[in-house]
Structure 1
Amino acid sequence: MTKRKIAFYRDERLPFLEAKRCEANELAYRKHFHEEYSIGLIYEGATNAWCEGRSFRVETGNVISFPPHMLHACQPEPGADWKYKMLFIRREWLEGLERNELARLRIPFLLGDAKRARVSLHFEGTMNALENRRDPLEVESTLIELIQEVARRDEEDQAHGERLGQDLRTAKRIKEYIQDRFAERITLEELERETGISRFHLIRLFKRDVHLPPHAYQNLLRVNHAKSELAKRRPIAEIALECGFYDQSHFARTFSRIVGASPRSYSLSL
């Protein structure tokens, strides 16, 4: 029997923060990314986490984090219950961190054993404060303690390596072009002109370096924008059109596949 319980939490006094709690037994996420910095805590079960071409097994008690626009996916064990919590933190809020801390937050971590106990404690404090609508001062204070602990240097942390080179710069250029026009009907001919390479090489290069074809990357940008607009209680049909979806059903299918909840369910849970 399929079980799925997903809830989202926000506080209008703290617009830079969103929390998610998920309990499910058959919920896998396709490759996706977030606009925010995200931190996740697995508190029951296990999942195989894929990130930028590398795979990790993430088990109960593990903490994993991703910077904005870092592509990742989760594939829990078939039929097994798994439960996790996520915090999504806007990049603008993080600008107050010291330069060395902010630099480390751009790198995703699977945290080491010695550190994750401390991080889990601060994570639970932040999550509980937000869920129970505690004073903003308490929520933000516990969040700062969490971020400082995540950013603390630890040799056991597993970091994802960076790739450099001309092809990666070209992929970045394509991503930026799509980001600036995510609601438009972009063609491969446009991307050809922008990069100066053939559409065949362009697709191969982009999929190799971004792990998605350009249209799938564009849909992720659309859904992430839609999430921020749904939080404002705007009409779903209006948001679908603004994001470039050709009809509301297309929007609903794409949103549900990426977020794990329908646009309506997501909006009502906030």
Structure 2
Amino acid sequence: MAFLGAGQIYLLTRQKTHDLFLTEPTIRPMDMSNDIPKGLRLNDLGGTEIVCGRFRNHRFPRHSHDGLMLSLVDDGTQGIRYRGETHLGGRGVLIAMPPNEVHAGEPLDDNGWCYRTITIPTAFVQCFSGVRNTHFLCATVIEDDDLIDALAMLFNLFGDASLLEQEEAIMTVLGRFMAAHTNEPPPQNKTGTEARAVRVCKAFLTSQTGQNVSLANLEEVAGIDRFRLVRVFTRLVGLPPHAWHLQYRLRTAQDMLSRGHPIAEVTYSTGFADQAHLSRTFKRLTGLTPGYYRRTHLALLDI
């Protein structure tokens, strides 16, 4: 089964010269020719994430991404639970999930599913599509041969194309996707006080990555009582505060591991009780262990 660039994916390492990314990449290969799940975070492409491989019996819990996720299934069928419905994604369709939309994934049988997926950070979506508002909805399963071909070409370009060609391919994918498959979400029933409370809570939680935050802490910074706060946060975000904070801590762990930080340091910095606790939680959300995730990046970075 062919994966990125005939069985290889490449990490692009370079220096930023400006807010735009203009310098030529240094390219190092990673074998992707088998079904073993692999995850890669391209930090110098703004944290773009790629996951490839087969997931047989792993169930992804409710979570969201800080970016647009696009997937191509190469074998099997993935079930996606989203907004009260279960969608089925198999060969010949594209699976899409907008930024910050809560969803879950699961296999339909013992064979699971094998896929290639890319999550493009919100800032990159804005930069490469020209769209300022990235709060949109779309169909979860999309039939669009031209878009599927463009995404498949983008995956292949990570193999041996120049940075310029890759970025042009991202623009092509995003341009067609945003123009043909997105729509405005329905207005949310929220007050200014509620929106501010959620915004303040998110800011506070992101500043407390390694801390054990209590509802009393959130109540104090939000300025509304804890019962209302939990209801409002869950309604507007899709996850309760503790789940959103856990997800943020795991994203921080991914970032640190991708840069070669020791697992013990990551465990301490992200507030997990011990490495076993980090490992269980990390694998539940990503399907990969922290050690495996880190080793993949170390092999690429020659650290």
TM-score (norm 2): 0.75
Q: Does 2:206 align with 1:179?
A: yes
Structure 1: how far apart are the matches of 2:129 and 2:163? 22
Check conservation: 1:65, 1:108, Cα contact below 8 A: no
CA RMSD of aligned residues (A): 2.8
Structure 2: how far apart are the matches of 1:111 and 1:185? 35
| 2:138 equivalent among 109, 134, 144 | 109
Q: Does 2:89 align with 1:54?
A: no
| 1:63 equivalent among 71, 88, 94 | 94
In the alignment of these two chains, the number of paired residues is 261
Corresponding residue SS for 1:148:
helix
| Match of residue 256 from structure 1 | 283
Structure 2: how far apart are the matches of 1:82 and 1:20? 13
- 1:34-53 to structure 2, matched below 5 A, reads 34-51=65-82, 53=83
Comparing 105-114 and 14-23, the one that deviates more:
105-114
Deviation at 1:260, TM superposition (A): 0.6
Structure 1: how far apart are the matches of 2:285 and 2:291? 14
Check conservation: 1:22, 1:84, Cα contact below 8 A: yes
AA matched with 2:147 = V
Corresponding residue SS for 2:36:
strand
Check conservation: 1:46, 1:57, Cα contact below 8 A: no
| Match of residue 237 from structure 1 | 264
| Match of residue 243 from structure 2 | 216
Deviation at 1:227, TM superposition (A): 0.9
Check conservation: 1:64, 1:109, Cα contact below 8 A: no
| Match of residue 191 from structure 1 | 218
Deviation at 1:235, TM superposition (A): 0.9
Gaps of 5+ in 2: 1-34, 298-303
Check conservation: 1:19, 1:127, Cα contact below 8 A: no
Deviation at 1:125, TM superposition (A): 0.9
AA matched with 1:163 = Q
| Match of residue 96 from structure 1 | 127
Check conservation: 2:129, 2:174, Cα contact below 8 A: no
Identity %: 22
| Match of residue 6 from structure 2 | none
Structure 1: how far apart are the matches of 2:99 and 2:186? 16
Change (3 A) 1:15 1:197: closer
| Match of residue 178 from structure 2 | 151
Check conservation: 2:78, 2:89, Cα contact below 8 A: yes
AA matched with 2:293 = Y
TM-score (norm 1): 0.83
| Match of residue 265 from structure 1 | 292
Comparing 78-87 and 201-210, the one that deviates more:
201-210
